[in-house]
């Protein structure tokens, strides 16, 4: 740190960046290794016989023994883990017993659906949650504050499938404002070439705005629901971070300088509150990306949550472990991202990195 | 002397569970383009008096006064817009600890520029030049670096100089300094005070210097108000401090150690409930 402040200049700065990158990579690698150990052990501990899952329960003993050896189950545990590790690193999560396809392909099919839903959801949650939280903090104890609190509390405590069904009933069945369950109308299903798997992005890139409108009308209701859910959390945290910042001395300094109140709230205080908020938003996003099983079920959304539930119910262990790894990777990735944003937002952290 | 600030019967109350509690109880004084010190112990109401002049009594507190006049403007009825016009440009306040009073995620330069409400008459570049000149005036050797620095990159003394620069850059008529050196090292204190002293006398500003340090205030100010439990118990010329009449002021002076030794142990400060009445 001392060196970074001297005129030693470019070389030391470059070294520092490199060193930071190495540290981050090492952390990520270790985290993943831990994650793999856990998923591997889960796979060995659960009372699902992987051999029976492959051959069914009517195969003769000789077939059972052969597959047992083929799967490497006769070898010591550390050797099995080594093989598992190599396979995972090569992108091989095995095959689903249910769909008879590679897990990687399955996840590549279902994950974009969840990603798209979660992203629209978190955008809604953040765009409404942060201003509402700020508003509540500025009007602490007044009517606006109570309103935001109750509005958030409902989002927090009402069962999401119940809200989902009500929303479908109202906006789809009665008012016909939005499209119903599923990601896209069957009529449009094959009218765009899937590239990213994110239908909003695909249709926009191909300039098919009628498809885009249809996809949007499908996604808006479940996304708004997830958005409402994360908004409840984000607005509550924003309120408390803002109350903390508005009580700080630098806010008084700004007032003494004659800075207009809107600038004090939205620039001085919110810029400081944004630092812890990054983590809150990242965690909410991770939560949505896990695949919200209930929402995906209610809205017949072919996403990760539905896939994982199906796999679990059919004890399709490879699929479950693959999905778990993906979720773990999302958490690690988002944590990393929020760390980087922390660095960007808080000059005090920057020096220490 | 024309008076810049006239206060009569200033009262500040905060609601509490036992009913409203009055922390400032009928303070009156006038301030011209001079240096007026307010001394008193913690909770005597000296800081709240300073904040009330800027209209910054923290809610749910309420400040009322019979007269609260700043250079012809009745502050009691001031609108939000009037306050914004006055604050920064005509009156400002140096606060205690630069660690808390500077915004940690904004550069010093940005915070300094904010105090300059440059409009049509001045471009951003001109304002920047003015801000840098101000940093130089508070004896910062490398103004460009400090301009780009974040508060945590500065020492306490540097931070407080930057604070002073920020509060003086718009050339206000009245400066309130609320314990401006209490958070600093003793050696740095003297430097910062000297800078403050010079700038205030150069610009002919009115200064309200709030401190708990009687010796410091008397060496620095023309007049001293001694506050106790929300009231002014004595007003003195700084040069006549030794002739203080009020037992509280005398007590404050007696418990200061003298270099030639003498009394040991030092007498403790006596308080009389009657003074608070």
Structural domain boundaries in chain B: 1-90+213-277
Phi, psi of A241 (to 5 degrees): -65, -40
Residue pairs between chains A and B whose CB atoms are closer than 8 Å:
80
In terms of Cβ atoms closer than 10 Å to its own Cβ (0-12, 13-18, 19+), residue B8 is: middle
| A15 and A61 part of one domain | no
**Coil, strand, or helix at residue B97?**
coil
Q: Is residue A96 part of a domain?
A: no
Contact between A133 and A149 (Cβ < 8 Å): no
ipTM over 0.90: no
Distance of alpha carbon B225 from alpha carbon B231, whole angstroms: 10
Give yes or no: residues A153 and A19 share one domain: no
Residues A206 and A137 in one domain: yes
Q: A-chain residues within 8 Å CB-CB of B106?
A: 268, 271
In CATH terms, the fold of domain B1-90+213-277 is Rossmann fold (3.40.50)
A124 and A271 share a domain?
A: yes
DSSP one-letter code for A181: S
Partners of B102 on chain A (C-beta within 8 Å) are 250, 253
Mark whether A56 and A38 lie in a shared domain: no
Which of B89, B92, B110, B114 would best serve as a mutation to test chain A binding (most A beta carbons within 10 A)? B114
Cα angle vertex A305, ends A303, A310, to 5°? 100
Classify residue A97: in a domain, yes or no.
no
**Range of the structural domain that residue A344 is part of:** 108-352
In our burial notation (b when 16+ CB lie closer than 10 A, e otherwise), range A156-187 reads: eeeebbebbeebbeebbeeeeebbebebbeee
Of the three residues A47, A66, A82, the one that is the final residue of a domain is: A47
Q: What are the contacts of B137-142 at 24+ separation with CB within 8 A?
A: B137/B165, B137/B168, B137/B199, B138/B162, B138/B164, B138/B165, B138/B168, B138/B195, B138/B199, B139/B191, B139/B195, B140/B165
Helix (H, G, I), strand (E, B) or coil at B6: strand
> Does the beta carbon of B80 lie under 8 angstroms from any beta carbon of chain A?
yes
Domain total in chain A: 3
A142 touches chain B (CB under 8 A): no
d(CA B114, CA B255): 44
Task: Please check whether residues A136 and A6 belong to one and the same domain.
Answer: no
Stretches in chain A below the pLDDT threshold 50: 1-8, 353
From the list B54, B100, B152, the residue facing A347 with the nearest CB is B152
Nearest CA in chain B to A260: B84
State whether A273 and A296 are in the same domain.
yes
* A15 & A69 share domain: no
CB B113 within 8 A of CB B128: yes
Q: What is the pLDDT along chain B (277 residues), one digit of tens a residue?
A: 568 899 999 999 999 888 888 888 889 999 988 899 998 888 888 889 999 999 888 888 888 899 888 988 888 888 888 888 888 888 999 998 888 999 999 999 999 998 887 655 678 888 898 899 989 888 888 999 999 999 999 988 889 989 999 998 888 899 999 988 888 888 888 888 888 888 888 888 899 999 888 888 888 888 989 888 888 888 888 878 777 778 788 777 777 777 676 666 777 777 776 776 6
B84 close to A262: Cβ distance less than 8 angstroms: no
Alpha helices in A168-315 (DSSP H): 199-205, 209-246, 249-256, 261-263, 270-289, 293-298, 304-313
The closest CB to that of B115, out of A249, A257, A261, belongs to A257
> Given CB atoms, is A140 within the 8 Å cutoff of chain B?
no
CATH code, A145 = 1.10.3720.10
Residue whose tokens read 């927090």: A156
Residue A95 falls inside a structural domain = no
User: Is residue A32 located within the same domain as residue A64?
Assistant: no
Question: Is A208 a member of any domain?
Answer: yes
C-alpha A144/C-alpha A141 separation (Å) is 8
**Same domain assignment for residues A188 and A269:** yes
Residue A7 dihedral angles phi and psi, to the nearest 5°: -80, 0
Do the Cβ atoms of B100 and A249 come within 8 Å?
Answer: yes
Same domain, A83 and A207: no
Same domain, A78 and A121: no
Taking an 8 Å cut-off on Cβ atoms, the answer to whether A258 and B117 are in contact is yes
Residue A196 to residues A110, A202, B115, Cα–Cα distance (Å)? 12, 6, 49
Does residue A200 sit within a domain?
Answer: yes
Measured distance CA(A231)–CA(B173) in Å, rounded: 47
């Amino acid at each position: 740190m001392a060196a970074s402040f001297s005129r030693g200049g470019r070389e030391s700065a470059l070294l520092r960046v490199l060193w930071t990158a190495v540290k981050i990579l090492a952390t990520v690698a270790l985290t993943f290794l831990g994650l793999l150990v856990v998923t591997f052990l889960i796979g060995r501990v659960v009372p699902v016989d992987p051999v029976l899952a492959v051959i069914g329960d009517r195969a003769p003993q000789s077939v059972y023994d052969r597959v047992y050896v083929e799967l490497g189950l006769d070898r010591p545990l550390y050797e099995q883990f080594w093989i598992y590790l190599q396979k995972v690193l090569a992108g091989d999560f095995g095959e689903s017993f249910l769909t008879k396809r590679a897990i990687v392909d399955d996840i590549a099919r279902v994950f974009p659906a969840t990603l798209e839903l979660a992203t629209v959801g978190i955008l809604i949650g953040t765009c409404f949650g942060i201003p509402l939280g700020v508003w509540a903090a500025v009007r602490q104890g007044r009517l606006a504050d109570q309103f935001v609190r109750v509005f958030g509390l409902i989002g927090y405590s009402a069962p999401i499938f119940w809200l989902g069904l009500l929303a479908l009933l109202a906006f789809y069945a009665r008012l016909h404002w939005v499209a119903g369950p599923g990601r896209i109308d069957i009529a449009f299903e094959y009218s765009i070439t899937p590239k990213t798997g994110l239908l909003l992005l695909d249709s926009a890139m191909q300039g098919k705005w009628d498809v885009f409108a249809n996809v949007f009308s499908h996604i808006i209701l479940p996304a708004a629901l997830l958005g409402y859910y994360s908004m409840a959390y984000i607005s509550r945290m924003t309120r408390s971070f803002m109350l903390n910042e508005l009580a700080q001395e630098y806010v008084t300094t700004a007032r003494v300088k004659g800075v207009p109140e809107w600038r004090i709230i939205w620039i001085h205080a919110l810029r400081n509150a944004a630092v812890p908020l990054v983590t809150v938003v990242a965690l909410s996003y991770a939560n949505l990306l896990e695949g919200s099983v209930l929402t995906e079920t209610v809205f017949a959304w072919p996403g990760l949550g539905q896939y994982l539930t199906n796999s679990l119910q059919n004890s399709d262990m490879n699929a479950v472990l693959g999905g778990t790894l993906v979720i773990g990777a999302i958490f690690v990735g988002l944590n990393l991202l929020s760390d980087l944003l922390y660095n960007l937002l808080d000059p005090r952290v920057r020096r220490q990195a | 002397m024309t008076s810049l600030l006239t206060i009569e019967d200033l009262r500040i109350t905060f609601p509490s569970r036992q009913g409203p509690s009055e922390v400032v109880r009928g303070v009156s004084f006038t301030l011209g383009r001079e240096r007026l010190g307010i001394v008193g112990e913690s909770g005597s109401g000296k800081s709240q008096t300073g904040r009330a002049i800027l209209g910054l009594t923290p809610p749910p507190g309420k400040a009322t006064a019979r007269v609260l006049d700043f250079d012809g403007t009745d502050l009691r009825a001031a609108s939000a817009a009037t306050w914004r016009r006055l604050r920064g440009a005509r009156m400002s306040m140096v606060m205690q600890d630069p660690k808390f009073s500077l915004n940690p995620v904004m550069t010093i330069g940005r915070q300094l520029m904010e105090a300059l409400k440059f409009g049509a008459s001045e471009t951003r570049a001109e304002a920047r030049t003015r801000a840098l000149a101000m940093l130089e005036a508070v004896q910062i050797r490398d103004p460009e670096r400090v301009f780009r620095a974040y508060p945590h990159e500065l020492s306490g003394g540097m931070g407080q100089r930057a604070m002073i620069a920020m509060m003086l850059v718009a050339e206000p008529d009245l400066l309130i300094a609320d314990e401006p050196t209490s958070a600093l090292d003793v050696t740095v204190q003297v430097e910062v005070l000297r800078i403050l002293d010079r700038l205030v006398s150069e610009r002919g500003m009115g200064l309200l210097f709030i401190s708990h340090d009687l010796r410091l205030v008397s060496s620095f100010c023309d007049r001293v108000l001694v506050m106790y439990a929300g009231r002014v118990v004595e007003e003195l010329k700084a040069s006549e401090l030794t002739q203080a009449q009020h037992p509280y002021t005398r007590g404050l002076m007696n418990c200061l150690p003298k270099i030639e030794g003498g009394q040991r142990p030092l007498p403790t400060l006596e308080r009389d409930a009657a003074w608070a009445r």
